[in-house]
């Protein structure tokens, strides 16, 4: 795992690269330009990243991890719909979280004409999917490395990508306005539709560190 200082340095480069890609396109942005914007040498940038498109992976990963953290706090006795509506709040105006979300959404909206960016997005999505595995395993009461858990996590992550691309494209390209409640409803519906295990309704989670099996619990109030 990368040290926090390196993670922050990579994320700083990603933010500069995202701004340049949005302004000039991928083809119109060089590695030299990204390095200059970040105040680093080109050699340092290439030590962090395998390509200029990969420079934005940390930005996609940061926004993906924020959603995974929301799922990590999902209580066992609460449905996916109720949890997301209770846990997800608007990002503070002008804060870094909002800026990162807008920057990532802009990049996602560019996929139809900048397909190289999709590879960076998929790499970040794969890393986020690995963090989703223990959440699925805990709610299903199954081993984290089991086929059913891996299939469920992969299906859920794929559904989230579809929602992400649809919302970003509609909002950035076509000016469609979404309220937070509508976004949450779409995310919850996508997760529920995609999950191949019954994890979206209340379950009884095993005790921390224990071998217990998750079971369906009472319906939420």
Which residue pairs from 82-88 have beta carbons closer than 8 angstroms and sit at least 24 positions apart in sequence? Answer: 82/220, 84/184, 84/187, 84/188, 85/181, 85/184, 85/188, 88/180, 88/184
C-alpha span between 11 and 26 (Å, rounded): 18
Query: To 5 degrees, how large is the angle CA 83–CA 88–CA 91?
Result: 175
pLDDT tens per residue, range 90-105: 888 778 899 999 999 9
Q: Pick from 211, 28, 210: which is nearest to 114 by CA?
A: 28
pLDDT tens per residue, range 19-70: 999 999 999 999 999 999 999 999 999 998 999 999 999 999 999 999 999 9
6 pLDDT tier (thresholds 50, 70, 90): confident
Percentage of residues in the chain having pLDDT higher than 70: 92
- What are the CA-CA distances from residue 9 to residues 38, 101, 115, 133, 201 (Å)? 9, 18, 25, 27, 39
- CATH fold of the domain at 56-210: Tetracycline Repressor; domain 2 (1.10.357)
pLDDT at 209: 59
Which residue pairs from 148-157 have beta carbons closer than 8 angstroms and sit at least 24 positions apart in sequence? Answer: 148/196, 148/197, 149/197, 151/196, 152/195, 152/196, 152/197, 152/199, 153/129, 154/129, 155/194, 155/195, 155/196, 156/132, 156/190, 156/191, 156/194, 156/195, 157/125, 157/128, 157/129, 157/132
């Amino acid at each position: 795992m990368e040290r926090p200082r390196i993670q922050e340095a990579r994320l700083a480069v990603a933010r500069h690269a995202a701004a340049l890609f949005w302004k000039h396109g991928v083809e119109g942005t060089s590695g030299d330009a990204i390095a200059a914007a970040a105040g680093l040498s080109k050699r340092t940038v290439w030590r962090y990243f395998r390509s200029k498109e990969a420079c934005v992976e940390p930005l996609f990963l940061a926004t993906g991890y924020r959603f995974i953290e929301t799922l990590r706090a999902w209580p066992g006795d609460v449905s996916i719909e109720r949890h997301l509506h209770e846990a997800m709040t608007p990002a503070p105006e002008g804060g870094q979280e909002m800026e990162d979300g807008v920057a990532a959404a802009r990049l996602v909206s560019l996929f139809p004409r900048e397909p190289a960016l999709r590879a960076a997005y998929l790499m970040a999505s794969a890393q986020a999917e690995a963090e989703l595995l223990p959440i699925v395993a805990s709610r299903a009461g199954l081993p984290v490395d089991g086929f059913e858990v891996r299939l469920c996590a992969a299906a859920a992550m794929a559904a989230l990508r579809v929602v992400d691309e649809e919302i970003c494209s509609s909002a950035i390209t076509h000016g469609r306005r979404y309220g937070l409640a509508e976004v949450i409803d779409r995310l919850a519906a996508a997760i529920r539709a995609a999950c191949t295990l019954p994890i979206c309704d209340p379950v009884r989670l095993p005790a921390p560190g224990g071998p217990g099996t998750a079971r369906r619990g009472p319906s939420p109030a």
